Chain A
Amino acid sequence: MNFKEIAKRGETGPLTEANDFLMKRVSANVLKLEKKYEITWDGKTLVNLDEEMADRCWQAGKELLLSSGVFSMGSKRIIELSPGEVEEALRFAPAELPMGQGKDAVRVYHRRVEDPRKPFVFGGPFNADVSEEHFVKLNEAFAQERLIDSLLFPGYLKKLDGQMIRPTSALASRAAMLYGQWSREAVRRAGRPGMPITGHAVMAQNEIACTNEHWGLRSTDPRAMVLISELQVDDVTMTRLAYYLAYGCPIYMAFTPLIGGYGGGPAGTAIVAVASFIASVVLGGEVVHIGPQHIKFKQQTNQHSLFLAGLANQAVARNSRIIATTSHTTSGRPGSAQYAYEFSALALTAVTSGSNVTGPRPAEPLGFNNVSPLMARLFAEVSHAAAGMKRENAAEIVAKLYEKYKDKIDLEQAPKGQAFEELYDLQTLRPTSEHQALYEKLKEELIGMGVPLDG
């Protein structure tokens, strides 16, 4: 089914209210499917090892999408899908996708459970608020990390010249253009002019203004679209999608299933996650990003989110050719050891479950530039080290890591961390000696826990 048909169905499908769609379709169907397919969480498992349940979760997710559809928030109509249309979308989903240009071109691919191939790493500011004065240097510091395959979401430009930016204003168009220019400048400075920049300037339709083959984001740079929880899509996303599909950009489609929300607990929400993976592909997504959110903890390394990430990714990896990537948002912030414990736990879970990786980022950055390229390096190293690891081994390490941070998951209790300009020397773009020492110490500690970072 092509985009034209999707867009048409968004204007002609059954008319309903959002609340009815969420309660009477999504929630009601999840409850039935959870029982029918016996999808459960035992209250303690962090990394799923039950492959039969992963396969049942795949079936349940597919059935959820077919019985619920996707809600178009703008038209209030349901985009309903037939089994044949879903199967066709899955059959033609790319298992491998090129991005970037010249010698910096790279490929992201579908991974299998316990796949020995290294995961693709999307790394960067990940939509943290980035100040105008540090935008280029901060992104250059990420781009100079060679293990990062694609610069990820170069950051919100919340203010220009001290002025806050209204999303649909002319200033937002200017900000989107600067976002494109400065991101390109950053990768050039890092000596990787063709490095793919996964873009998401988040300025409503104005975001398209970041596109320019010479100075901005190119047709070889992925563009991110974010579905709204659960199984909903808005007009701005559809508008951007229409343009970027026609322009030929790789489509990076993200969704954030909310544990405790309309899908219920971690088991029910895993079904929603699988349905969202498939919906993303039907809508045109080529790389699909899962961000397993939580209604209480508001981050992605709690036990429920770890379980969901493992189960949903395994369901997808075992039953489809979808290129999956998992986002990593933590309670601990850059500059703290907890940050690394958390992203390592989720990376070990996701990578051994067949996912690529996106991140990391604190769930609640404190102020501007609350990011660390050096920690992104460690994240990439841990993710690479997890390639080929058995899930049983990963589960043992994840349990040890979880013990180290479980009592500080509350965002108020979690370490505050430091800003980029405190963690880096802005002249040399090298980490401060203290930050470097933290990295070395964490690496040693992770090796001691069984992460093969010394291999």
Chain B
Amino acid sequence: MTSEANKDTIFAAMRESIENYDSEAAVAAAKQAVESGIDLLEAVEKGFAEPIRKLGDAFDRMEIFLPQLMLGSDAMKAGTAVLDEAITAGGGSIKSKGAVVIGTVEGDIHDIGKTVVAALLQANGYAVHDLGVEVPASRFIEAAESRKADIIATSALLSTTMLYQRDVLELLGNKGLRDKYFVVVGGAPVTQAWADEITADGYARGAYEAVRLLDARKGR
């Protein structure tokens, strides 16, 4: 098999692993890519990034739903980890659109909205660290620092828990870290007016708006 044909075969296996939501197959295909000596940055783009973007589009058209999007994103994450290790060992790095720390604020157990945003951001090239629900303000900041994140995204589904979004910004200010992060807010009761009031950098009504908002952000 020519090296070009070999490359195409590996890329096809990588794409299929995402289309089949299969993490084990994604890892196997990624290992094959590493062993074959092909350009791994090209493998990231053509093997994983392209199909995951297609999954995101299919999700938007409601041809697939949250479970498939999450499984596809998980498969990509598992496969990309293998490639990342090899690329880093070779002195390179995978280009990410940014590292995001995301979670639902303290006192709020609502998970789905935040989970959709996390999955879609991941599908769109962001490194996402999902902290889950009932996340205290201090934990957002600790995680952002330790993960070397660029973006902090907080979700609140209740009118009564929105004020913890304010606390994240206030605590960042108190620690002298406010300018280090692009801080975005979302959730059913959250509005642009609330984002403005608490001096967040952005507000997104839904998952797609969140991707657009972060894609359009000016560097911080």
Binding site for B on A (CB under 8 A): 18, 23, 27, 73, 129, 156, 158, 164-168, 172, 202-204, 228-229, 234, 236, 258, 260-265, 268, 295-296, 298, 304, 364, 366-367, 411-412
**B112, A261: Cβ atoms under 8 Å?**
yes
Closest A residue to B62 by beta carbon equals A260
**B112, A229: Cβ atoms under 8 Å?**
yes
Number of B residues whose C-beta is below 8 Å from A?
26
Of B65, B67, B191, the contact of A366 (CB 8 Å cutoff): B191
**A264, B65: Cβ atoms under 8 Å?**
yes
**A295, B189: Cβ atoms under 8 Å?**
no
Known A-B contacts: A167-B158, A295-B65. Give 18 more (CB < 8 A). Answer: A73-B109, A156-B160, A164-B163, A165-B160, A166-B107, A202-B160, A229-B112, A260-B62, A262-B66, A263-B65, A264-B65, A264-B67, A265-B62, A265-B65, A268-B65, A295-B66, A298-B188, A366-B191
Instruction: List residues of B (146-180) whose CB comes within 8 Å of A's CBs.
Output: 158-163, 166
**B65, A260: Cβ atoms under 8 Å?**
yes
10 closest Cβ pairs, A-B complex: A27-B67, A167-B160, A264-B65, A156-B159, A164-B163, A261-B66, A158-B159, A234-B109, A167-B107, A260-B65
Kindly state whether residue B205 has any CB partner on chain A within 8 Å: yes
Q: Known: A18-B111, A23-B70. Contact between A411 and B205, CB under 8 A? A: yes
Closest A residue to B66 by beta carbon equals A261
B216 to A: closest C-beta gap in Å: 16
A455 to B: closest C-beta gap in Å: 38
Query: CB-CB < 8 A to A167: which residues of B?
Result: 107, 158, 160-161
Closest B residue to A30 by beta carbon equals B67
Query: CB-CB < 8 A to B193: which residues of A?
Result: 367
Binding site for A on B (CB under 8 A): 60, 62, 65-67, 70-71, 107, 109-112, 116, 158-163, 166, 188-189, 191, 193, 205-206
Query: CB-CB < 8 A to A172: which residues of B?
Result: 160
Docked Cα-Cα span, A234 to B158, in Å, equals 15
A77 to B: closest C-beta gap in Å: 15
Q: Known: A202-B158, A295-B66. Contact between A228 and B111, CB under 8 A? A: yes
Docked Cα-Cα span, A203 to B107, in Å, equals 10
**A258, B62: Cβ atoms under 8 Å?**
no
B135 to A: closest C-beta gap in Å: 14
Query: CB-CB < 8 A to B62: which residues of A?
Result: 260, 265, 296, 304
Query: CB-CB < 8 A to A264: which residues of B?
Result: 65, 67
**A23, B67: Cβ atoms under 8 Å?**
yes
Docked Cα-Cα span, A437 to B47, in Å, equals 61
Query: CB-CB < 8 A to B65: which residues of A?
Result: 260-265, 268, 295
Closest A residue to B205 by beta carbon equals A411
**Of B60, B158, B188, B193, most A-chain CB atoms within 10 Å:** B158
Query: CB-CB < 8 A to B70: which residues of A?
Result: 23
Query: CB-CB < 8 A to B111: which residues of A?
Result: 18, 228
**Of B109, B162, B191, most A-chain CB atoms within 10 Å:** B109
**B67, A228: Cβ atoms under 8 Å?**
no
Query: CB-CB < 8 A to A261: which residues of B?
Result: 65-66, 112, 116
**Of A158, A167, A304, most B-chain CB atoms within 10 Å:** A167
Query: CB-CB < 8 A to B191: which residues of A?
Result: 366
Query: CB-CB < 8 A to A164: which residues of B?
Result: 162-163, 166
Docked Cα-Cα span, A87 to B116, in Å, equals 35
**B112, A296: Cβ atoms under 8 Å?**
no
Docked Cα-Cα span, A165 to B110, in Å, equals 19
Query: CB-CB < 8 A to A364: which residues of B?
Result: 188, 205
B130 to A: closest C-beta gap in Å: 10
Closest B residue to A165 by beta carbon equals B160
Query: CB-CB < 8 A to A204: which residues of B?
Result: 107
B187 to A: closest C-beta gap in Å: 11
B75 to A: closest C-beta gap in Å: 13
Docked Cα-Cα span, A265 to B59, in Å, equals 11
Closest B residue to A264 by beta carbon equals B65
Docked Cα-Cα span, A236 to B161, in Å, equals 14
A223 to B: closest C-beta gap in Å: 17
Query: CB-CB < 8 A to A367: which residues of B?
Result: 193
Query: CB-CB < 8 A to A23: which residues of B?
Result: 67, 70-71
B129 to A: closest C-beta gap in Å: 15
**A166, B163: Cβ atoms under 8 Å?**
yes
Query: CB-CB < 8 A to B161: which residues of A?
Result: 167
Interchain Cβ contacts under 8 Å between A and B, 12 examples: A27-B67, A165-B160, A166-B160, A204-B107, A261-B66, A262-B65, A262-B66, A262-B112, A264-B67, A296-B206, A364-B188, A367-B193
Of A158, A165, A258, A268, the contact of B112 (CB 8 Å cutoff): A258
Query: CB-CB < 8 A to A412: which residues of B?
Result: 205
Docked Cα-Cα span, A264 to B67, in Å, equals 8
Docked Cα-Cα span, A158 to B107, in Å, equals 15
Docked Cα-Cα span, A411 to B65, in Å, equals 21
Query: CB-CB < 8 A to B107: which residues of A?
Result: 166-168, 204
Query: CB-CB < 8 A to A366: which residues of B?
Result: 191
Query: CB-CB < 8 A to B67: which residues of A?
Result: 23, 27, 262, 264
B169 to A: closest C-beta gap in Å: 14
B194 to A: closest C-beta gap in Å: 10
Docked Cα-Cα span, A160 to B161, in Å, equals 15
